[in-house]
Every structure is written in C-alpha cells, then in structure tokens.
Amino acid sequence: MNLHNWIAHNTEIKLKTLSLAYSSCPNDTYIFHAMVHGLINPTDISFNTSIADVETLNQRAAKGTYDITKLSFAAMGSLGEQYRILRNGAALGRGCGPLVITMPGYSIHSRHKIKVAVPGLGTTACLLFRFYFEERFPGLVPNLISMPFEKIMPAVTTGKADVGVIIHEGRFVYEQMGFELIQDLGQWWETHTGLPIPLGCIAVKKEIGRETTKQLESMIRQSISHAKKFPTAGAAYIRHHAQELEDNVIQEHIGLYVNDFSMDLGAEGENAVLTFFKKARQAGILPPGPDSWFLN
C-alpha cells in the first residue's frame, strides 16, 4: 500500500460524501435547508445535493441513482430490496391527501374512457386514485395520463384531461381557479382505514451501514428542529425553489406537510405505511416487500 492510500485508510475521521436528492416543494427544502448548509451539529458526512420533481426521483431511484432520496410511498413499495425507509422527513398526515378535481358540470358517469391527469404513474397520488376509482366506479377504466403536477390543472382547463389528481399547493388554489372537487383522496383513505395518509418518504440505500443510517435520521431531526427554531433562516432558499408560489401558499404548504410525523413516523405512522403497502399488494399493484422496511 502506498503512502497516499495508507493515509486515506488510517485517518481517524474520514469524510463520507453521499448523494442526496429531494424535491423543490417547500416542505422538502424547509426540512433539508439546515442539513445541507452546515447549520446543524457537524458530522463526518457531506452531501452532493440534487433537486427534482418527485416522479423524476421515483424513476431515478429504480436505477439506484442516489444514496438518499425523497420517494413517493407508492414508488418505495417496489424498491424494498434496494432501499429502506428513514423514520424522519416523511410527508404523512391527516387532511393533506391528493384531490380529484374537474371543471364545473362534469360527471364521471358521462364517459366510459375518462381521461385522468396524474402527477406520475409511480406516485402515491396515482395509486390512491386507482384504489378510490375501482371502488367508486367499478367497470369504468380510466385513461391515466402522466404529467408534471403543475400542468395538471391547465390540462383539465383545456380539455386534455377530464379529471385531474392534484397535489402540493394545488389544494390551496383549486377553488379560486374555478375547479370543483370530486374527492379528497386523503379523506377517503382516512375514512376507510382510520389512519393518516402516507404520501412521501426519505429512503436510504441498504448498503449504507447502520451507524450512518442512524446518523442521517438524527441529522434530519436536527434540521427540522433548526427550521422551526429559526423560521426565516431558510426563507430565501425555499422561495428560490418554490417556482412562483405566493408566500402565504408556501407557509400553508409547510404547515400542512411538515408535522409530527416528519420528525418521527412513530407506531401510527409505520402502521399507516404498512397498511398502504398491504392494500397495494392485495390489489396486485405492488410486489411482496422485505421483512422490514425500516432500520430495526
């Protein structure tokens, strides 16, 4: 072993650089701001950070692109052999599910080949819609059209889609934009299961060791705590990535999607996740999962 390699292998503290990806949505940039900007307790981990929409992250995770990544729970349900779920940073809760909207006067019963715009075929929103639609309209087969979430309402307005499944800030503005609500999918889920709706999670590759994984969970908790203690610290970063959202919408978004489950899923959160996966397997949508989705 040459001198350079000897030094690298015998340095007491080795810096680990991990690839980290999350979405541009305010809840994600709020959660990770302090962590990726060195504002929490220093560790031997640094990050190469990428930001993309969740459906893109879902697709990249299938290729193992990132060490740590935001995922829809629906996508995570097919990746249990490669990734495990961190107990922190998740989007999960009550009153925060996707909404099914349409233009005034439209009736789903009026067509047998309804065109439905969804924010990605691998998203939790799409999977929830499939659960709901099969129960509510047996025999009707929807034509699911995948598109970026910000294009869904325009697609419904122009008639490219009959119905849209909207997520994120769409729930705060759909009424003022003239749409009608067909179904709150989160409310539908809560009524059927009594559990909060699992939307998105932070996943880590299984090849990353136990100690580092626990360290990552601690860092996410610290980062959320920092954001709560210093609410203006990440404001510019969040606004930069929030496209053209109004400040009040950004705050509503963070208030809805960053909650106690984001700090720690806890027993109720884990039960909600496992129930979601079980229902999807029973419907033949997801494959069997691993013995454990979490670090034990």
**Active-site residues: which are they?**
168
Q: Classify the C-alpha dihedral 76-77-83-87 as positive or negative.
A: positive
| Ordered DSSP codes for 132-195 | HHHHHSTT---EEEE--GGGHHHHHHHTS-SEEEE-TTHHHHTTTTT-EEEEEHHHHHHHHHSS
The span from the CA of 27 to the CA of 97, in Å, is 14
Contact predicate 270/73, CB 8 Å: no
CB atoms within 10 A of CB 115: 17
